[in-house]
Structure 1
């Protein structure tokens, strides 16, 4: 029964949007490489199913179910009411009045550690966390202007009719980095994500980043880490994403020099998301395995 319930949950997990399928799958695969043994076992137990869904399938689940659970749509981003490219910044009280990715991470952290919840509910909470820590590292998931760039029509590699700035940061840049065609889906994306995660892991090893020790993992106060991540991510909106102004973005093909400058930002953000997700899951697993009366500061739980 347990595996059938989870199968029903994961059956929705078709590739849709939000860092794109490749981005979220890569974050999951990369995080897995930094899991402690305890975390690996804990995640495997929660995600156990009869159809061999892996952590990358769980990481894309939240994008799929939001079309069935419309109340979750606002959980994927924080609408920073700033003024790019002149000024950027996230203010939690100002920008998260009706719930956002920051409060979502806080809430789901609390739920996944609440032993009074059913295993299915805890599993869903974990899958939300796997996804939202990815989302909070996408620059346009931390910006309100023109609905996070969704209303800024642009061209990318001569494709103009359906392109917008948000979608090229979610998907097109990542697909181009990994040599994927614009229309490739699912298995092609899953294989590409696994390969990219290995490359990013090797790159971290070469830089001397061999653990998650430097990452924020204060699961007793999730808001503090989430605001830090969102603020750091939002800064790229001013420093690069919208730095040239909207008119320039609309009048230049973004598959050239703009893409070249975006690549190191995307790779850095995906890598940070994987490391930070691993640190978070490691801390969650350690807390779940203890009997210390663990509690979470829920902060503004207003979803």
Structure 2
């Protein structure tokens, strides 16, 4: 998906209000979902609404936080490790090194898995309630994981992604991870937009259309052959040309050295100069841009699945999948096994 000089009119879309939200577990993911909703084609939006339970009203923003709300449920215990990816030997800010090794249990692999599920059920509509539930789970996990993979500390294992890195936020004690999960966003909304998340979102869309346009035009460009790797979903996702989670995680990992861990000090007040550096003009409104980037890429993939230029009835992928078998794996979702 390449951008034109104008965006899809946001005013005509119904967006979920996030004024009452108090943490990134909801706010950050809600915002990525809202951005994505703006870039869905009408046909994709229609199919998304059919997949999601009526509670969500067809809104990705409302579905996006769900995977964080079910972590304690035994049924979804398998999913907790899919929210991040660790990199052996990674030690920011001295050295940021991302060499992906397939483990079957990380956010990169999770995105391949969920995309494969969505595509499978697009090519063969689910019939049973169990399959319909699995498809909805896949969409909710996909939307959430797209947000997670664009949070830099979800692409670094140092100090458990910053969870074990103490820091100060004004007079409060916090961690580097919590700062990036929500405190930067909340303060940015408060300081620049009078505590109005809707104004923050509108500004993000405007920035994408203007300030970030030269680079935003290429946010959805990737080379899938470099991002498939050794995983069970390589074949079933290879024609989804916008799906490049390894590349995205590598980009986020580099930001860990450039910005996130730079001059780390547990006694530093991160609500001052550090905050200004990563949310302000000096570094091109980085935090806000990552949210926009996640949403735009999310929409591009969903459009490719649900409203492709070539109808799925004539998509060569249908022919490739027709002889495949479905096998159970030791967690809730199922994968396509090449055979």
Provide the TM-score with structure 2 as the length reference. 0.71
1:181-200 deviations in whole A, cap 9, x for unaligned?
A: xxxxxxxxxx9544422220
CA distance in 1, matches of 2:70, 2:311: 29
Q: Which contiguous aligned blocks of 4+ residues in structure 1 show a shift greater than 3 angstroms?
A: 50-53, 191-195, 207-214, 216-219, 221-224, 293-296
- The count of residues paired between Structure 1 and Structure 2 equals 268
Structure-1 residue corresponding to 2:208? 204
Structure-2 residue corresponding to 1:25? 30
Q: Would you say 1:105 and 2:127 are equivalent positions?
A: no
Structure-2 residue corresponding to 1:261? 277
Larger RCO (CA under 8 A, 6+ residues apart):
1
CA distance in 2, matches of 1:86, 1:220: 35
More strand by share: 2
Structure-1 residue corresponding to 2:238? 220
Structure-2 residue corresponding to 1:290? 312
Structure-1 residue corresponding to 2:99? 91
More helix by share: 1
Match runs of 1:21-100 below 5 Å: 21-50=26-55, 52=57, 54-68=59-73, 69-81=76-88, 82-93=90-101, 96-100=102-106
1:59 to partner: Cα distance: 0.6
| Residue 193 to residue 45, structure 1, CA distance change in 2 (3 Å) | farther
- Unaligned stretches of 5+ residues in structure 1: 1-14, 181-190
Residue of 143, 160, 182 corresponding to 1:171: 182
Conserved? CA contact 1:157–1:254, under 8 Å: yes
1:138-191 deviations in whole A, cap 9, x for unaligned?
A: 01000101100000111102111xx111011101111111119xxxxxxxxxx9
- Unaligned stretches of 5+ residues in structure 2: 1-20, 225-236, 280-284, 322-328, 332-339
Conserved? CA contact 1:98–1:302, under 8 Å: no
CA distance in 1, matches of 2:187, 2:163: 20
1:225 to partner: Cα distance: 0.5
| Residue 67 to residue 50, structure 1, CA distance change in 2 (3 Å) | closer
Conserved? CA contact 1:22–1:192, under 8 Å: no
Q: Please, which moves more after superposition, 193-202 or 38-47? A: 193-202
Root-mean-square deviation (CA), in Å? 2.9
CA distance in 2, matches of 1:252, 1:86: 19
Provide the TM-score with structure 1 as the length reference. 0.79
CA distance in 2, matches of 1:90, 1:44: 36
Larger radius of gyration: 2
